[in-house]
Structure 1
Amino acid sequence: MILIGAKDIEKSFLDKSILEKVTFNINDNDKIGIIGINGAGKSTLFNILTGELSKDSGDLFIKNDLKIGYLKQHNSFDSSNSLYEECLSVFSEVLRLENKLREYENQMNDAEDLEDLMNKYHRDLERFESMGGYLYDSEIRGTLKGLGFSDDDLDKNVTNFSGGQKSRIMLAKLLLQKCDVLLLDEPTNHLDIKAIEFLETFLKNYKGACVIISHDRYFLDGIVNRIFHMENRTIKTYETDYTGFMKQRKIYMDIQRKTYENQQREYKRQLEIVEKYTSTDNAKKNKQGQSRKKLLDKMKLMDKPTYDDGTFGIKFKISSPSGKDVLMVEDLSKKIDDKLIFENCNLDIYKEERVGLIGANGVGKTTLFNIITKKLKPTSGKFRLGSNVNIGYFDQEQIYLNDKNTIIDEIWDEYPKMTHYEIRSAFAIMNFVGDDIFKLIEDLSGGEKARVSLLKLMLSKSNFLLLDEPTNHLDIDSKESLEDSLINYEGTVFVISHDRYFLNRVCDKIIVLEKDKATTFLGNYDYYQEKINDSKTDETEESLNKTAAVKEKKKQRAITNNLKKLRKQIETIESNIDKIDERIKEIEDIFCQNDIYDDPKKILELNEELENLNAEKNSLYSDWEDKQLEYEDFDKN
């Protein structure tokens, strides 16, 4: 079923065209990834779909009563609620119905028209149950836990949370709303890897359509079954995941290029024939030449294929090599205001390694970097930099950029000996051309600020790069350029990142920082995941092996005894279910008698008993299923 349909949508701002002839459908249960370079119009499209922006032309169909949820990339909200109360506000209609049901129950003893009241009660009870009225508490707690909040956070006022945490709160509220269509603009930006994995699972199982703007390639591969690629102000649809899209796009680009080249070659050949024939004195050939020219004039020539290119030519170089030992950390710990951030941190980094640092939000990854760069002092323990180590630091918050500087002044202030030509050449590498270099830092987008910081880092020629979330504001093309440059870098890299694709491609060592330790894995992110899964399997197998001999001796006797015991328990449960069914039938028969409505108190009692019986019956069915599965497992053995 088509939920949203767009045909030939166009949008311009002043004289700049953003969207041209954009056509697509969003179907029920679609999981769609929207990709394109920064500035391609992805967020503009979302704003048109939600009605926050008007389209200039084209047709937009949105199914009647469609519930659309929109997570913007930059969120802000004011509230005096606690975290739990803020999420509870999503269920205002459920809470209203719950209060109404309690009111009905209180009115039953004194109701003049009890039958009418009971009809209203059962109608609203049915609606309450269909809206998952009994589940909202567990849904709130489960979603918040999955997104990285603890039980201790539930009663905290939302004003006390950071900007990143508030973004996670907005995401939690959106997930709890159960919209028909979710529009998510960079939903992983403020999530650690564990929370991203929770969101992946949630969205894969989501009973609705999801349209996701994301530069997280690993995340896209885990969820989407369609790709909307925004390029040259329009959309091309690919019925595949991100990896499939990349393969298909390469084939498409090759076909376009070859078709264009073949057409140009044929056009040139025909033009040469026309010129040859029309320049001859032979009347017959001259006439043939004129005929060919008419055909040539009618030939529809395709434009040379152009593709949005967000790549940049950054190349990190070193002024001099470091020693073999680059960073040694021993028993490092850090407390801030008596709050322990981490302890027992031990790690070693060697020359030319590319090391990824991962861990939960708040575990102290950036704090560790600030200690290494001597912006903070450790509470205990020590660290040592190797000989001739020169640190270059990329800060994810870009706090070391001067907002009042222009881009060119930001570079010139740090590298005053660079000539105008050298400055221009450096900016061109990062796709800053023309008057771009005179923009104020405070007016730049997140991606543009990241490119300025990366340019400063490149010019530093440091041999040890500390990178704190360097890919956060980069589009996919820019990420791949950064990855290529780091892979070919002759220095050492220590990078904090939640981008698993980036960690896989760049890193040859993963360090997991936890509150009480740092654990090293000698491989990329997939290797780390494999080792974690192997460890869980080994623990299970070790436990099984220790008791295998004893179990074998007792196996037959245990199976026999347990089968008898389970069979008896199953029969008892079935008997109890039958008794409950009999009592439920009796109560339903009583409700069919007219005189019962003369006794409101009795109705209330019977209704309460009916609810209790149904609850007990559901519990017994659950027990019956568990025992039945257990019985079947024993029987197989």
Structure 2
Amino acid sequence: MILQCNHINKSFDGNTILDDISFHINEQEKTAIVGINGSGKSTLLKILMGEYEADSGEIIIQKDAVIGYLAQNQDIDSAKSILEEMQDAKKDVIALEQELNDTTELMNHAEGAELEKLIQKADNLRHRFELAGGYTYHSELIGVLKGLGFTEEEFSKPVSALSGGERTRVALGKMLLTSPDLIILDEPTNHLDMKAIHWLENYLSGYRGAVIIVAHDRYFLDKIVTKVVEIRQHKATVYQGNYSQFSEKKQAMLDTQMKQYMNQQAEIKHQEAVIAKLKSFNREKSIKRAESREKQLDKIERLEKPVEENTRMNLLFSPRIQSGNDVLSIEHLSKSFDTETLFTDISFDLKRGERVAIIGDNGSGKTTILKIINNLVDADGGTVRLGTNVDIGYYDQAHQVLHGEKTIFEELQDDYPTMTNTEIRNILAAFLFTEDDVFKQISKLSGGERGRVSLAKLMLSDANFLILDEPTNHLDIDSKEILERAVNHFEGTVLYVSHDRYFINRTATRILDLTQKQLVNYIGNYDYYLEKKEANELAQLTAPVIDTAGQPADTASDSKLTWQQQKEEQARLRKKQNALNKVEKEIAELEEKNESLGEQLSDPKNGTDIALLQKLASEKEANDERLLVLMEEWENLAEN
């Protein structure tokens, strides 16, 4: 057991945040802490890290355990470059490397006893260097940087010039390189694109230490964690399994508790009715029997009714009119900003009832496509045509459709002047804005609150074609699940951009992957997309869309890989695999040679043969340098 949390209590200004929280973390265990926004998850992490002091209770951490902690926002103020900042995590190994190089240099100018002493020192340093991962630290460092989305061109960029999200990524990478016994992460995926999140999933899944994660990314949690600690109504409940298993167990538990409560209530009402009937007979025996039953009823331990926390939105999208079958047609669309081309000659169609997700790297142009459809940005070329009776409702991730100077109440009142004050208040209450909350100024709201206002306006729009840009950003898990249900029950058409893979998996009927300035079409949800992408079954990526009549839709304008492109891609993959095999073979041969050289260097028989020792050491050093080059080459091949 690496960490134990016993009976933690915490209040702020008399308001209870955490009440009798207890759980433990075993070595190598991966645990998620979940709960609605404001439930105290980040507060708990800060108590674990000693940044806050609990009102009562204790935190027990294994002796000499090293803990790595990543808060939601990192304020790294450094004049160093990204690479130099990351190298700080390996400063002990780098210092060893420098000492080894200095010792090797001295050996070139030493003789006799002094040389023998230096050889022994160098051998000892090499051993320590190898144990510390010295021969692989550079590749590991570069791998972490690239995995978190930094390009080689950015390695020399000063940390002081980075955005807040980029600084958080640097802090995350630096912490991972220290290989702590326990990693504590607070919303680690907030500033990562899908590729970086996928990389981090694989890294943490195979990590030998323990991990505690607070995150709203349910797909991420599903892939990593084996235990979930839910904070609900200030209490903690521990569930074994990943997020999906937790969700099922939690619902089953709530259903059981509700059934037990309803059964008890039915029994209480039955007994009360019997008691009332006995009393109505107004006879001595019947009154005594009634009193006896009353005493028995008073002894019953009353179950509390399981209640949902007052944080569940009431969200239902209902189109005013139905659109035609052809909702959207985009042909040969292109867009560049300055000298940067986002996409060229992309085409796709949307049919009524489809729920289509656009995915891709940050900066690839996904949001720009949505803005072009909404006439907020002009395309450089191509056409956008809407079908018959199509009425668009747009959710903007930056919430620019909201007016900062208005109150929440005014935001709805001005857009829907026919609604009464009571109707507006009822709608806002459904989105968790009650009493004086409705008079908060938009500019003073949190990201999650702005998101709820935008969703309220979207629901009132009665649109039949919803265009959503990162709709789950800033929403807690409960709110995301409510949005999922609303999207899945919507009778119109939905086109959205999202990094939330769980949301995509639960809602999308089709995925458009914006990659290499083109769109690739996948018929299915996110799991299907991953399966086909990872299996390189390129021939199935562009299967025709089936319309509501069950006939293949016109896909002549769909962006897809031609037969020739598929053959070229397959040839590229074969060439890449051959190169990988060649590099792996050479790495294995060099490692085998180094093992033999190490044995010869350690052999007492060679202890007095200075010339031989120098030769062996030089050969091993040359092999080590070649290994570094090969490992970087392998890494580049594996990524591209």
TM-score (norm 1): 0.82
**AA at the equivalent of 2:361:** A
Deviation string, structure 1 residues 509-558 (Cα, Å, up to 9, x no partner): 2111123311222322233333334544879xx99xx99xxxxxxxxxxx
Q: How far apart, in 2, do the equivalents of 1:310 and 1:509 lie?
A: 31
Asked if 2 retains the 8 angstrom alpha-carbon contact of 1:80 and 1:157, the reply is yes
Instruction: Please tell me whether Structure 1 or Structure 2 has the larger radius of gyration of its CA atoms.
Output: 1
Q: How far apart, in 2, do the equivalents of 1:578 and 1:422 lie?
A: 78
Question: 1:122–1:297: structure 2 CA closer, same or farther, 3 Å change rule?
Answer: farther
Structure 1 equivalent of residue 613 of structure 2: 606
Asked if 2 retains the 8 angstrom alpha-carbon contact of 1:344 and 1:518, the reply is no
5+ residue gaps in structure 2?
541-565, 572-585, 631-640
Q: How far apart, in 2, do the equivalents of 1:585 and 1:172 lie?
A: 36
Structure 1 equivalent of residue 181 of structure 2: 180
Structure 2 residue matching 1:238: 3-state secondary structure: strand
Moved more, 23-32 or 390-399: 390-399
Q: How far apart, in 2, do the equivalents of 1:362 and 1:165 lie?
A: 14
**AA at the equivalent of 2:19:** E
Asked if 2 retains the 8 angstrom alpha-carbon contact of 1:580 and 1:617, the reply is no
Structure 2 residue matching 1:81: 3-state secondary structure: coil
Pick from 605, 608, 623 the counterpart of residue 589 of structure 1. 605
Q: How far apart, in 2, do the equivalents of 1:366 and 1:349 lie?
A: 17
Asked if 2 retains the 8 angstrom alpha-carbon contact of 1:310 and 1:475, the reply is no
Deviation string, structure 1 residues 569-608 (Cα, Å, up to 9, x no partner): 9xx999989985885366x3354x6xx9xxxxx59x8367
Q: What is the deviation of 1:36?
A: 1.6
Q: What is the deviation of 1:391?
A: 2.6
Q: What is the deviation of 1:365?
A: 0.6
Question: 1:267–1:182: structure 2 CA closer, same or farther, 3 Å change rule?
Answer: same
Q: What is the deviation of 1:142?
A: 1.3
For residues 209-248 of structure 1, the aligned pairs below 5 Å read 209-248=210-249
Moved more, 467-476 or 137-146: 137-146
Pair 1:481-2:482 in alignment: yes
Asked if 1 retains the 8 angstrom alpha-carbon contact of 2:590 and 2:623, the reply is no
Structure 2 equivalent of residue 559 of structure 1: none
Structure 2 equivalent of residue 62 of structure 1: 61
Q: What is the deviation of 1:234?
A: 1.1
Pair 1:392-2:393 in alignment: yes
Pair 1:463-2:464 in alignment: yes
Structure 1 residue matching 2:513: 3-state secondary structure: strand
Question: 1:332–1:255: structure 2 CA closer, same or farther, 3 Å change rule?
Answer: same
Moved more, 65-74 or 124-133: 124-133
For residues 229-628 of structure 1, the aligned pairs below 5 Å read 229-271=230-272, 293-308=294-309, 310-533=311-534, 535-536=536-537, 583-584=600-601, 588-591=604-607, 602=610, 606=613, 609-610=616-617, 612-613=619-620
Q: What is the deviation of 1:244?
A: 1.5
Identity of paired residues, percent? 42
Structure 2 residue matching 1:410: 3-state secondary structure: helix
Deviation string, structure 1 residues 154-178 (Cα, Å, up to 9, x no partner): 2233444444433333332232221
Q: How far apart, in 2, do the equivalents of 1:69 and 1:617 lie?
A: 30
Q: What is the deviation of 1:25?
A: 0.1
Asked if 2 retains the 8 angstrom alpha-carbon contact of 1:221 and 1:241, the reply is yes
Asked if 2 retains the 8 angstrom alpha-carbon contact of 1:358 and 1:513, the reply is yes
**AA at the equivalent of 2:344:** E
Q: What is the deviation of 1:610?
A: 3.4
For residues 137-176 of structure 1, the aligned pairs below 5 Å read 137-176=138-177
Query: Considering only aligned residues, what root-mean-square deviation do their CA atoms show, in Å?
Result: 3.6
Structure 2 equivalent of residue 40 of structure 1: 39
Moved more, 390-399 or 109-118: 109-118
Structure 2 residue matching 1:471: 3-state secondary structure: coil
TM-score (norm 2): 0.81
Question: 1:504–1:309: structure 2 CA closer, same or farther, 3 Å change rule?
Answer: farther
Q: How far apart, in 1, do the equivalents of 2:229 and 2:63 lie?
A: 24
5+ residue gaps in structure 1?
548-568, 597-601, 624-637
**AA at the equivalent of 1:589:** K
Deviation string, structure 1 residues 237-292 (Cα, Å, up to 9, x no partner): 11111222122122211221222233333444455566677888877776666565
Q: How far apart, in 2, do the equivalents of 1:120 and 1:10 lie?
A: 54
Deviation string, structure 1 residues 32-80 (Cα, Å, up to 9, x no partner): 1222211111111111111111111112111223222222233343333
Q: How far apart, in 2, do the equivalents of 1:295 and 1:331 lie?
A: 78
Asked if 2 retains the 8 angstrom alpha-carbon contact of 1:37 and 1:309, the reply is no
Q: How far apart, in 1, do the equivalents of 2:283 and 2:491 lie?
A: 68
Q: What is the deviation of 1:5?
A: 0.5
**AA at the equivalent of 2:613:** L
Pair 1:134-2:138 in alignment: no
Q: How far apart, in 1, do the equivalents of 2:384 and 2:343 lie?
A: 15
Q: How far apart, in 2, do the equivalents of 1:575 and 1:188 lie?
A: 39
**AA at the equivalent of 2:78:** S
Structure 1 residue matching 2:419: 3-state secondary structure: coil
Question: 1:57–1:577: structure 2 CA closer, same or farther, 3 Å change rule?
Answer: closer
Q: What is the deviation of 1:321?
A: 3.5
Q: How far apart, in 2, do the equivalents of 1:141 and 1:268 lie?
A: 69
Question: 1:590–1:25: structure 2 CA closer, same or farther, 3 Å change rule?
Answer: same
Asked if 2 retains the 8 angstrom alpha-carbon contact of 1:366 and 1:468, the reply is yes
